[in-house]
Amino acid sequence: MKKVSKILNDPSGKVVANNKVRLVTIDMSHVGQRIDNFLLRELKDAPRTFVYRILRKGEVRINKKRAKPLQKLIEGDIVRIPPVFLPEKSEAHVVPESLLKKIEASIIFEDEDLILINKPSGLAVHGGSGIRYGLIESFRALRPNIPFVELVHRLDKDTSGIVMLAKSRSVLLELHEMLKQKSISKYYQTLVLGKWQGGSAHIQNSLQRQQGKQKKVRVLNDKDADKGKLAESIFSPLTVFTKDNQFFSLLKVELLTGRMHQIRTQLADKGTPVLGDAQYGDFAANREAKKQLGLKRLFLHAYHLNFTLPSSGKKYDCELPLADDLITVLEQLK
């Protein structure tokens, strides 16, 4: 049940996205979704700060009771959404046609359950923190008639490669559970500074997000490990290069957990930082790599996904070559 009003102009110069209380009855497509994420989807033009403000003030209610930001929805819940007044849209919020064409060209595979996209480096997966639109907002602008599409997982802004989008709530939850159970195989390729010692290394450590404006992660020592989250990866050497008495190692990485900046922090902690990493890397080496090898970004690429979707029995096995700019760097090293 939805009570939807027209968009009106308010005398204050703001747009009234909805000038009446809305009551939305939750169906199976939203079961298990957090109320904050549900509101972000329902109020597409509202900033995240607005959504959390109406939650904090108790203006959003579930079954007539005050909603908590992390509360999960169940079938039959009745959600009260208050009247919404938003600043008038500016042209800056419109996704450029050039980006829409780029996203369209980046679609690798699509069926009735999910979409696989080759995310370019430099594009965030979603908007926020000063970013007006990312991959998911751009895709929704590209395909406005798709009733449901959500990110299954994330890649760092500067990482390129495969990103999954789910086309239904049930598939999204199924894939999330598979990620928790480590039944989706995810592989990356990365070029690091230094000579990789030995063969494959199964690295497990604890990562903790640091406080402050800059989003960074640190590896905790054993004593403080319980304060962070387990991060687990398998690193395997592919090729070792030498140029001007400097070693570089191309690695294959199997990601077993999906922590923020996991690969980058684990490799930096090991003394072999990802080349082109502006946060955790060797800044002098990055400058030389840009000058001598033409590397202008993070050398990290999500190149292979492999899994079977239990609900349908479909097998997905997608493998992407390195992006052209990364291939050029390797050719310079050879």
Longest dimension (CA), the chain: 69
152 and 201 Cβ atoms separated by less than 8 Å:
no
DSSP 8-state assignment for residue 68: P
Q: For residue 184, give the 3-state DSSP assignment.
A: coil
196 and 240 Cβ atoms separated by less than 8 Å:
yes
In the chain, what is the straight-line distance between the N-terminal and C-terminal CA atoms, in Å? 63
Task: Take residue 186 and report the two structure tokens written for it.
Answer: 């995810």
Q: How far is residue 31's CA from residue 77's CA, in Å, rounded to a whole number?
A: 9
Centre a 10 Å sphere on the Cβ of residue 134 and count the other Cβ atoms it contains: 19
11: left (phi over 0), alpha (psi -120 to 50) or beta: alpha
Q: Which residue has the tokens 């992390």?
A: 70
Task: Take residue 145 and report the two structure tokens written for it.
Answer: 């008639």
244 an active-site residue?
no
H or E segment and range at residue 248? strand 246-255
Q: How far is residue 57's CA from residue 60's CA, in Å, rounded to a whole number?
A: 8
Task: Give me the phi and psi of 301, to 5 degrees please.
Answer: -140, 125
**205-223: burial string, b at 16+ Cβ within 10 Å, e else:** bbbbeeeeeeebbbbbeee
Please identify which of the residues 36, 77, 113, 156 carries the catalytic annotation.
156
Q: Which residues are designated catalytic? A: 156
